[in-house]
Amino acid sequence: MPDSTLTFAPLETERFLLRPLRTTDAAELHRLVNDWEVAKTLARVPFPYPRDLADDWIASTVERIDEGEAYHLAIARREDDVLVGCVGLTRDREGRSAELGYWVGRRHWGQGIAPEVAGRLARWALANLDLDRIVASALLDNARSAAVLKRIGFRETGTGAQDFLSRGKAMPVRRFEAGRADMVIDAAPAAPAALALPEGGGKRILLVAAVGLIDPDGRVLLARRPEGKPLAGLWEFPGGKVHAGETPEAALIRELKEELGIDVTEACLAPFAFASHGYEAFHLLMPLFLCRRWEGVVTAMEGQALAWVRPQKLADYAMPPADRPLVALLRDFL
């Protein structure tokens, strides 16, 4: 399945813009990275760093972004577009993973830049690319880089060796890894109104209503969970939590208006099946309704990616474990 991101839009953080590199960045990039204190920590950067290599590398980054192979971006201050470093992600097409890397010019150290930009790119990638994990490494004696990775949610997985062009030999490194559960920055409250604690203890029960919207061509709508949310990047049936005092139908009517900008009546929601799945912190109970009629145009009101999918193609989309069992039932029914 192709990525939903057809063109790359620069990513914003509080202080920086992560944008494709430009030919006009070459001189400043060369000044910043042609520094032993920077280059010695980077596996794929030679030292000294030739000036013409900056031009060649910038041209290659544009091509690789266009091809969806890698996203090597400038870290530029939002206030004046001054280049302070680079952050990048290189995809492993076979393993649904990618490698994260970053560097900041020495004159800009001590400002908390690396965790701000590396965390932003990692969360964006897990939410918008077909990835399940991101890996990274840091020299064994580079405590600052290891601290950055841990701060943004990476887990240390072991040690190894990696070739460093700047040093002309293999060096010992610490290896790190992060998945969707590690990159959550907007987690749900521990006990919202829709959660009920069973008598005698046990997991709380979370009631969520979902709907399979079916268009006149028989396609089903899927929505991609946005960056920073639990299970970000996975595709699911639209819907949401049932609030205290709500019925599942009322919750869907509310959610579809808020998230998709459409009006649905209760008479158009047909109960179809339900999912029951145990997550670590709660047990999810999710009735699935079908709907073929609504008023308005389906619109991503919250900026989420949407896809109209043929029933036989639903299994090609990575989905949360609670949604997956419903796919076969829906495919056979339609």
pLDDT (0 to 100) of residue 1: 40
The second-level CATH assignment, the architecture, of 11-182 is 3-Layer(aba) Sandwich (3.40)
> Among 234, 221, 194, 202, which Cα is nearest to 322's?
234
Instruction: Give yes or no for residue 217 having a pLDDT over 70.
Output: yes
CB burial of 44-68 (b: ≥16 within 10 Å; e: otherwise) equals ebbbebeeebbbebbeebeeebeeb
Neighbouring residues of 267: CB distance < 8 A, sequence distance ≥ 6: none
Instruction: Give yes or no for residue 4 having a pLDDT over 60.
Output: no
- The confidence band for 32, taking pLDDT boundaries of 50, 70 and 90, is very high
Neighbouring residues of 294: CB distance < 8 A, sequence distance ≥ 6: 213, 256, 262, 263, 264, 268
Per-residue pLDDT tens over the stretch 40-58: 999 999 999 999 999 999 9
pLDDT (0 to 100) of residue 130: 87
Task: Give the total residue count for the chain.
Answer: 334
Instruction: Check for a shared fold between 11-182 and 195-333.
Output: no
DSSP assignment of 280-316: SSEEEEEEEEEE---BS----TTS--EEEE-GGGGGG
pLDDT (0 to 100) of residue 183: 81
Per-residue pLDDT tens over the stretch 291-319: 999 999 999 998 889 999 999 999 999 99
Instruction: Give yes or no for residue 5 having a pLDDT over 50.
Output: no
Note whether 104 and 75 are within 8 A (CB).
yes
Domain spanning 195-333: CATH superfamily:
Nucleoside Triphosphate Pyrophosphohydrolase (3.90.79.10)
Mean of the per-residue pLDDT values for the chain? 90
pLDDT (0 to 100) of residue 216: 95
Per-residue pLDDT tens over the stretch 110-167: 999 999 999 999 999 999 988 999 999 999 999 999 999 999 999 999 999 999 999 9
Instruction: Give yes or no for residue 6 having a pLDDT over 70.
Output: no
- The confidence band for 7, taking pLDDT boundaries of 50, 70 and 90, is low
Instruction: Give yes or no for residue 280 having a pLDDT over 90.
Output: no
Helices (H), 129-222: 143-151
Quote the pTM value. 0.79
pLDDT (0 to 100) of residue 290: 97
Maximum average pLDDT range among 16-30, 84-98, 229-243: 16-30
pLDDT (0 to 100) of residue 180: 87
Residue spans of the domains in the chain: they are 11-182, 195-333
pLDDT (0 to 100) of residue 196: 52
